[in-house]
Amino acid sequence: MVKLLSCLPTKVAKMSHLTQEQRYTISAMKAQGYSQKDISQAIGRDKSVVSRELHRNCDHRSGRYDFDLAHRKYKQRQKTKVRAIKFTDDVKNYVDLKLEQKWSPEQISCTPAPDGLTMVSHERIYQYIIEDKKRR
């Protein structure tokens, strides 16, 4: 028997974004004169992450780093971030076809799609099914 769920991720990826608490620690340690290397060790991140955070999210008028301003800038970037749309009409048609053939979302997402379509995750297919049911 072929295991169809083998393409599903088994591990959760490590968090890559700084938290508000880490930004607070950066702000407090920076104000006390600690080096970027010391700050990076305190928050458990690479020193390049601290350097990038200080450069990207400081107040460009005063040059001061404030954790609250930094977090607001981060949230604003997340809101305006351009996201690729993978669930195109062609993908929807392919998913509809497979759902009519009684395929599960896991089977659909784990099977290579034809014509170079980029397949979406089974979670996205479930979201599509739920949206469709709400629209009746």
pLDDT at 47: 92
Instruction: Tell whether the model's pLDDT for residue 1 goes beyond 90.
Output: no
Q: Is residue 18 classed as helix, strand or coil in its secondary structure? A: coil
Q: How far apart are CA 71 and CA 75, in angstroms?
A: 6
Average pLDDT, the chain: 85
When mean pLDDT is compared over 11-25, 89-103, 104-118, the highest value belongs to 89-103
Whether residue 97 is found in the same domain as residue 51: no
How many domains is the chain built from? 2
Q: Which of 80, 109, 124 is the last residue of a domain?
A: 80
Instruction: Tell whether the model's pLDDT for residue 111 goes beyond 60.
Output: yes
Whether residue 117 is found in the same domain as residue 74: no
Whether residue 61 is found in the same domain as residue 112: no
Looking at the domain assignment, is residue 67 inside a domain?
yes
Q: Band of the pLDDT at 4, cuts 50, 70, 90?
A: very low
Q: Which of 63, 80, 97 is the last residue of a domain?
A: 80
Whether residue 32 is found in the same domain as residue 64: yes
Instruction: Tell whether the model's pLDDT for residue 70 goes beyond 50.
Output: yes
Residue 36 domain boundaries: 20-80
Q: Which of 34, 60, 80 is the last residue of a domain?
A: 80
% of the chain surpassing 90 pLDDT: 50
Contacts of 128 (CB under 8 A, 6+ apart): 87, 92, 95
Instruction: Tell whether the model's pLDDT for residue 41 goes beyond 80.
Output: yes
pTM listed for this prediction:
0.56
Looking at the domain assignment, is residue 8 inside a domain?
no
Q: Band of the pLDDT at 12, cuts 50, 70, 90?
A: very low
For residue 108 the two structure tokens come to: 């659909």
Whether residue 109 is found in the same domain as residue 67: no
Instruction: Tell whether the model's pLDDT for residue 11 goes beyond 70.
Output: no
Where do the H-state alpha helices sit in the chain? 20-31, 36-43, 47-57, 67-80, 89-100, 105-110, 122-135
Whether residue 101 is found in the same domain as residue 66: no
Looking at the domain assignment, is residue 28 inside a domain?
yes
Instruction: Tell whether the model's pLDDT for residue 7 goes beyond 70.
Output: no
HSE-up (13 A, CA, CB side) for residue 35: 5
